[in-house]
Amino acid sequence: MTEPPRTEPPRTEAPLPAASLRTRVLLAMLAVLTVTLVVLVTTVGQIYTAQARRDVTTLVSQRIGLAQQLARTPIGPQGLADRVSGRELQVELVLRGGQRYQSGPEPERPGRARTATLQGGRAAYEGATLTVTADLAATNASSSAVQRALWIAAAVVLLLGGLLTWLATWFALRPLKRMAGSARRIAGGERGVRLRPTNPRTEIGATATAVDQMLDELEGAELRAREAEQVAQGSAERMQSFLADAAHELRTPLAGIQAASEALLTESSPTERQQLELLLAREAQRAGAMVSSLLDLARIDAGLDLTRGPVSLGALIGAEAERVELAGPAVTVHRVGLADLAIVGDADRVAGALRNLVDNAIRYAAAGGPGGWIELGLARDGDTAVLTVTDSGRGVPDHQRERIFDRMVRLRGEEVGAGSGLGLNIARGYARAHGGEVICAPAEPGRGARFVLTLPLIDQFAQ
């Protein structure tokens, strides 16, 4: 036993994340901006503090240099200490004899003290020790103030950045809001709405272009579906009308066959029996022709399977002329135009199309009284063979020239022959199966109906 085919479950896409795009962009922007500001503020604060301490160190070195110079002058030890000290510097001078001299305020946060030995000065200062201690309280306070200012500025920048990001995303997402509004309008039944982006190469523009293309395809599909529905409805209505007409047309010969058969069973006169047999044969032939036409129409609707080969149009016209002369001696046949043209097609179908046109012409030519005629013509128009069938009847009104190709259609008020109203439709179906056409051309003065059958000289369906 073979295993039944496995059917895969329908594929479902993962749910689309629906978080607010503006919120996500804002949070991402704030995160990046926060990290950047923290790194920036920390780095700037450290650089400022280091630079301030280097400035203090430089000041201490300059004061020691000043002391070396003052040691060569006649200034006293206390004066020297007073001159070297400052608002943030404490100085202690220790002479060789142990005398100590101090100047400057006591440091709140003493930094690293620097000690130097005075040399090259006066004898009183030779070998003296000078210690300079810097007070870092002011430097630290200044660094703290700078740090606070930087953090305040960072907070302001962060707030402004968040506000600007919120506004920028609001403006940037306006096209998406418009797209959503257009989608809601279309969902509400409004058609013809399009986004029409000014620049289709951007992200939003490419998305809007794709949405417009999708809407074009959807509306086109809806239009095609409506047209197909209308065509199907029209076809169904025509089919119902056609079946009703066909049943009506078949009822007449079948009723005649039934009546003739019943009368034949009871009739004993040879003469009457012969007439009934002729009537029976005629009605049976009429019913058979109707059924044959219906079968031809069914084949045309299903798609004809043509047996293609060389077809001599001159030979087909000659055969039809002979048939008319034998079947209807009251109608004269004339041939005009070229003697022959060859095409590639189904000889039986082409002959059937021509025969239906000729039968139609015979009925109307004979109805016009004695002297009726039909004209069979053959011509070439580029790569197209043109066959014409013209009769001496009363012609077809202009407004009826297309309608007569519908099924079961006869011109009002005409009771010509025993036509089924299917021949012209069948002829057109055969012609179109070959890539050709059958039309009823405008009437010419003094002439009746003129039908034109066109067929391609080149096989359009050759592989």
pLDDT tens, 363-417?
Answer: 888 776 677 899 999 999 999 999 999 998 888 888 888 988 887 777 655 544 4
Q: Give the C-alpha distances (Å, rounded to integers) separating 203 from 20, 43, 94.
A: 18, 38, 79
List the chain residues with pLDDT less than 70. Answer: 1-19, 112, 238, 241-253, 256, 267-268, 286, 289-290, 293, 327-329, 368-369, 411-420, 459-463
Q: How many secondary structure helices (H) and strands (E) does the chain include?
A: 9, 11
Q: Give the C-alpha distances (Å, rounded to integers) separating 102 from 80, 106, 123, 125.
A: 10, 10, 20, 15
The edge-to-edge listing of strands for the beta sheet with 373-381 is 332-337, 373-381, 384-391, 450-456, 437-441
Residue with tokens 């034949």: 264
Distance in angstroms (rounded) separating the CA atoms of residues 317 and 339: 9
Residue 313 burial class via C-beta count within 10 angstroms: exposed 0-12, middle 13-18, buried 19 and up: buried
Residue with tokens 């070396």: 68
Distance in angstroms (rounded) separating the CA atoms of residues 375 and 222: 49
Give residue 1's pLDDT. Answer: 45
Q: Helices (DSSP H) in 368-444: which residue ranges?
A: 423-433
Give residue 10's pLDDT. Answer: 52
Rounded to two decimals, the pTM is 0.48
Structural domains in the chain, CATH included, are 21-171 (no CATH), 188-303 (1.10.287.130), 306-412+420-463 (3.30.565.10)
Q: Which two tokens stand for residue 152?
A: 């305040």
CA quadruple 396, 402, 405, 409: dihedral sign: negative
Q: How many C-beta neighbours within 10 Å does residue 310 have?
A: 9
Average pLDDT along the chain: 81
Give residue 379's pLDDT. Answer: 94
